[in-house]
Amino acid sequence: MGANGISNEEKLARGLGWFSIGLGLAAIAAPRGLARMIGIRSHSGLLRLLGFREIATGIGILSQRKPAGWLWGRVAGDAMDLSLLGGALAARSSQRGKVAAAAAAVAGVTALDVFASRRVSGGDQGIHVEKTIVINKPAAELYGFWRNFEDFPNFMNHVKSVRKIGDRRYHWVVRGPANSDVEWDAEVLEDRPNEFISWRSLENADVDNIGSVHFERSAGGRGTLVKVVLEYNPPAGSLGAMAARLFGEDPEKQIHVDLHRLKQLVETGEVARTEGQPVGRPRSTSRKYDDFVRT
C-alpha cells in the first residue's frame, strides 16, 4: 500500500487504463500512420474500432476500484491484436520486421495485463479439460493399450515421446506452441486395472499437470466409455494458454482429436497421420476424416 492509500495493484491498473485510452485515441486519430508504423496494410475502419474498444476499456478500468473484469477484457483484446498481427506476419511481406517488433511489444503488454488481472482477481486458475468417447472394444483391451505410455505418440499427435525413467515414473516430451518442446517428468498415482489410471507431473515440470482416464461399460453394453480429465497450469498461466490457442495448440482440441485417433487405431488398426510423422500411413483414405483432424 502506498503512502496515499493506493495499492500497487490499483496503481498498475490505473496505468493500464490510461495506456488504453492513449492507444485508443492514437488509433482513432491516425489509423493510417499507426498501420504504417506496425507494418500492416491500412485497415482504417478496423483500427478505429480497436481504438474505441481501447478507450471503453480504459474508462472501465479507471472508473472502478477493483476492475478485474475490465483488465481481463484487455487480455482478450490483446489476444485479438496478436491474432491480427499473426496473420500479417504469416503473409509474405517486406514489413515482417515491423510486424514482428509490434507483436513482441503486444506480447510484452499482454504479460503485464495478465499479471495485473491476476493480482486484482486475487489469483489465477489452471485449465480444466474433460472429454469422453465410446470405443467399440472391451475395457481390458483399452486399459492395456493406454497403460503402455510409450505408445502414446502413435495416436497423440502432440506427444513426441514418453520414456520410462523409474518405477511408475515417465519422462514426457510434447510439442508446444510455435514448434517448441515442452518436457516434464510424471508419476502414476493410482492404477486400477481395466478401470482407472491417474498421474501427475513432478517438481520442476515445464507444465504442471494432473490427469486421469476412466474406463466404463457404455450404456447398452456396446463398447467402453473412455473419459479423460486433465488439469494443468501452462507456462505463464493464462497467458500461456492464450498463446497456445493462438498458435494452434489448444489442449481441449488436442485431446478431442487424440481420442478419435485412439478410437480409429484400436478399432481398425490404423490411424490417420499427416506426412512426415513417424507412425501410420501418410494419409487416411477418408478425406472427410483428414479434414476433421485438421480442424
Closest Cα partner for 246 from 122, 91, 86, 110?
A: 86
Spatial separation of the C-alpha atoms in residues 263 and 280, rounded to whole Å: 14
Spatial separation of the C-alpha atoms in residues 6 and 10, rounded to whole Å: 6
pLDDT of residue 290: 41
Spatial separation of the C-alpha atoms in residues 69 and 224, rounded to whole Å: 42
Number of H helices, E strands in the chain: 9, 7
Q: Are 113 and 20 in contact (CB under 8 A)?
A: no
Could you give the residue ranges of the DSSP H alpha helices within 91-168?
96-121, 139-147
CA-only gyration radius of the chain, Å? 23
pLDDT of residue 240: 54
User: How far is the CA of 50 from the CAs of 23, 115, 145, 187, 240, in angstroms?
Assistant: 9, 22, 50, 46, 23
Query: Is the whole model's pTM more than 0.85, yes or no?
Result: no
pLDDT of residue 149: 92
Q: What is the mean pLDDT of each run of 10 residues along the chain (295 residues)?
A: 61 88 89 80 77 91 83 82 75 70 81 76 68 94 91 88 93 75 89 94 82 90 90 61 52 85 89 49 39 40
